[in-house]
């Protein structure tokens, strides 16, 4: 089974480009809000870093999600898309002064702080504006996730977050500062997580930390568990929407929230990955000594995940119904790593055929580069085609 694409409309378009199925995005958002709303105090933010296409952001904002940002540019994109500043949180291990000032001026909901020096600078900059900044502390829970090493973030060896042993002391320091208001704890253990046991382990760690704080009479207003829920890259047609019920139910059952506490999520990939495909044209079929190459006009500049993470994306020839043949699907970039996949079974392919690289709505267009002086790919939505 293949995905459904308006191929007749693609014929006049310059490739490569991203195609976003907005009906699927809206169905995904409906599933998220339906499941999250079953649980009191659950608040969902969208991680802008996954995809910042303006039409995609507006649709997500219309569904009522907040925004999770990791740069000043993402704060600006969120505000431009209409996200209320009261639903914008700002994380990131290296916030520059202008980015902090931008958040202060906008009156964002919260800064997720990752170090004592950062806390001191936020207090200083807020003081200069006679403002009080809400801060949550990102605690590194030393919880491993069953995912790629480059997208694991919750281990002690990672650069992110504050060590658990320093949690109480930094909360105490914040209480002595005049221009910050400590409101909660923030966690994030990684990305593309499909094993609910990883989230259960995070719940157990948070429960222990909350008990520890309560022994010192410290109560927090909010808990932010980050995101991390993965998607099924193998079966984008059969399983287009992640299991949000299992995800939210895991936290509802395992995390011991205190009365009045809110629980915040920062979903990115799970929201947008499956609705996006990279559409590329076949340039040449090259017969090698022992294999066939399908050379397409998209490359690692357009979708870097296979080269960077050895990530799998389902690849389909959406122009052909001929019998299957086996190809290495490669791009035109002057790098040996410019390979989307090896030994891929595609319907017999010829020059000009459209190839769809699936599940590319997250970390696709947003990570594109202009290496080899190539133009950035454009993102089109099904609403506008």
The pTM for the full model equals: 0.94
Q: Quote the DSSP letter at residue 37.
A: T
**Cβ neighbours, 10 Å, residue 206:** 23
pLDDT tens string, the chain, 385 residues long: the values are: 799 999 999 999 999 999 999 999 999 999 999 999 999 999 999 999 999 999 999 999 999 999 999 999 999 999 999 999 999 999 999 999 999 999 999 999 999 999 999 999 999 999 999 999 999 999 988 775 544 444 344 344 455 688 888 889 999 999 999 999 999 999 998 899 999 999 999 999 999 999 999 998 998 999 999 999 999 999 999 999 999 999 999 999 999 999 999 999 999 999 999 999 999 999 999 998 889 999 999 999 999 999 999 999 999 999 999 999 999 999 999 999 999 999 999 999 999 999 999 999 999 999 999 999 999 999 999 999 9
**For 188-215, what is each residue's pLDDT tens digit?**
988 999 999 999 999 999 999 999 999 9
Intrachain domains 7-17+274-381 and 22-271 with the same fold = no
Angle at the Cα of 261 from the Cα atoms of 260 and 265, rounded to 5 degrees: 140
State how far the Cα of 332 lies from the Cα of 143, in Å rounded to an integer: 40
**For 311-351, what is each residue's pLDDT tens digit?**
999 999 999 999 999 999 999 999 999 999 999 999 999 99
CATH architecture assigned to 7-17+274-381: Beta Barrel (2.40)
CATH architecture assigned to 22-271: Alpha-Beta Barrel (3.20)
Instruction: Give yes or no for a contact between 197 and 228, defined as CB atoms under 8 angstroms apart.
Output: no
**The three-state (H, E, C) secondary structure of 108-173, written as one string:** CCEEEECCHHHHHHHHHHHHHCCCCEEEEEEEECCCCCCCCHHHECCCCCCCCCEEHHHHHHHHHH
Instruction: Delimit the domains of the chain by residue range.
Output: 7-17+274-381, 22-271
What tokens were used for 34? 């339906």
For residues 242, 232, 351 and 340, what is the CA-based torsion angle, rounded to 10 degrees? 130
């Amino acid at each position: 089974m293949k995905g459904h694409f308006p191929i007749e409309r693609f014929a006049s378009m310059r490739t490569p480009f991203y195609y976003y199925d907005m009906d699927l995005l809206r169905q995904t958002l409906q599933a998220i809000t339906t499941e999250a709303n079953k649980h009191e105090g659950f608040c969902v933010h969208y991680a802008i870093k996954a995809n910042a296409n303006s039409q995609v952001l507006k649709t997500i904002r219309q569904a009522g999600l907040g925004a999770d940002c990791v740069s000043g540019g993402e704060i600006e994109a969120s505000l431009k898309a209409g996200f209320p500043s009261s639903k914008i949180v700002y994380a990131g291990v290296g916030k520059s002064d202008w980015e902090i000032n931008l958040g202060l001026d906008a009156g964002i909901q919260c800064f997720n702080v990752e170090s004592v020096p950062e806390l001191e600078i936020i207090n200083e900059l807020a003081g200069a504006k006679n403002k009080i900044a809400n801060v949550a502390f990102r605690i590194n829970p030393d919880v491993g996730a069953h995912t790629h090493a480059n997208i694991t973030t919750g281990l002690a060896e990672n650069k992110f977050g504050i060590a658990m042993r320093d949690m109480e002391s930094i909360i105490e320091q914040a209480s002595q500062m005049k221009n910050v208001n400590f409101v909660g704890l923030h966690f994030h253990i990684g990305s593309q997580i499909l094993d609910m046991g990883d989230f259960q382990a995070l719940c157990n760690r948070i429960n222990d930390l909350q008990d520890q704080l309560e022994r010192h009479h410290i109560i927090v207003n909010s808990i932010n568990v980050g995101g991390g829920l993965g998607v099924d890259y193998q079966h984008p047609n059969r399983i287009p929407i992640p299991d949000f019920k299992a995800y939210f139910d895991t936290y509802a059952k395992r995390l011991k929230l205190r009365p009045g506490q809110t629980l915040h999520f920062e979903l990115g990939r799970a929201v947008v990955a499956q609705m996006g495909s990279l559409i590329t044209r076949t340039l040449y079929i090259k017969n090698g000594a022992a294999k066939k190459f399908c050379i397409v006009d998209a490359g690692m500049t357009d979708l870097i995940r296979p080269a960077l993470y050895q990530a799998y994306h389902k690849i389909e020839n959406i122009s052909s119904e001929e019998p299957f043949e086996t190809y290495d699907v490669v791009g035109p970039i002057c790098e040996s790593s410019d390979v989307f996949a090896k030994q891929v079974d595609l319907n017999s392919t010829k020059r000009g055929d459209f190839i769809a690289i699936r599940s590319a709505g997250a970390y696709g267009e947003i990570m594109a580069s202009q290496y080899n002086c190539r133009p950035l790919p454009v993102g089109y939505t099904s609403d506008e085609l």
